[in-house]
Amino acid sequence: MDFNKKNILTVTVIFLQLSCELPKTKNNVVVHYKKITANRELPQGVTINGLKQGLWIDYDTLGHFRSSVSFLNGIENGEFRIFGEFGKLVQKVDIQEGKYNGRFENYGENGKIYAMGNYKNNKKIGDWLYYDDNGVLTEQEKWDNGKMLSKKVFKK
């Protein structure tokens, strides 16, 4: 290749690189993985410009699904779920702007509801109900702004 053709090719490549450059406000998108074994990685979630976005999943050391929660601009938003052995739902709670806000449910090993209530700004509110393994109501608590107002224990 002669000198002129080489210069034209070099200038063309530089021009193409400069014209294809992203603007300075580009999004830095990274997909994160959790290493389970030397040969196995599972997707956990995505960050955009360093902030968690969308659904994030956590796994135990064997790669079993353990929890999930959604993020918006690095802050938890949505339903947070925790799973036990064999993928059984153990707990779920609504989160808004990083705080418990809304329904809370806890499940026993048998899959039946064990406890349920509501949160507002990370504080218990309203009626909280607790059940035994047979699904029978055992306790009822009344809460206001994180303070227990009353508690009833039911006999079997």
Looking at residue 19, what is its pLDDT? Answer: 34
Residue 45 burial (10 A CB sphere; 0-12, 13-18, 19+): buried
What is the rounded average pLDDT of the residues 54-74?
94
Indicate the range of 3-7, 125-129, 134-138 predicted with least confidence.
Answer: 3-7
- State the CATH class of domain 29-153: alpha beta
Indicate the range of 4-8, 42-46, 60-64, 127-131 predicted with least confidence.
Answer: 4-8
Residue 57 burial (10 A CB sphere; 0-12, 13-18, 19+): middle
Looking at residue 43, what is its pLDDT? Answer: 94
Looking at residue 16, what is its pLDDT? Answer: 31
pTM: 0.76
Structural element, H or E, at residue 123: strand 123-131
Tokens of 67: 């929890």
* Dihedral sign of CA atoms 35, 39, 43, 46 in order: positive
Geometric angle at alpha carbon 112, from 98 and 155, rounded to 5°: 105
User: What are the sequence ranges of the domains in the chain?
Assistant: 29-153
What is the rounded average pLDDT of the residues 57-71?
93
Q: Where is pLDDT greater, at 106 or 85?
A: 106
Coil, strand or helix: which one is 74? coil
Task: Count Cβ atoms below 10 Å from residue 65 Cβ, excluding itself.
Answer: 13
Looking at residue 48, what is its pLDDT? Answer: 95
The chain-wide mean pLDDT, for the chain, equals: 85
Q: For residue range 4-29, list pLDDT tens digits in order.
A: 433 333 333 333 333 333 334 467 99
Looking at residue 26, what is its pLDDT? Answer: 60
The number of C-alpha atoms within 13 Å of 116 and in the hemisphere containing its C-beta is 9
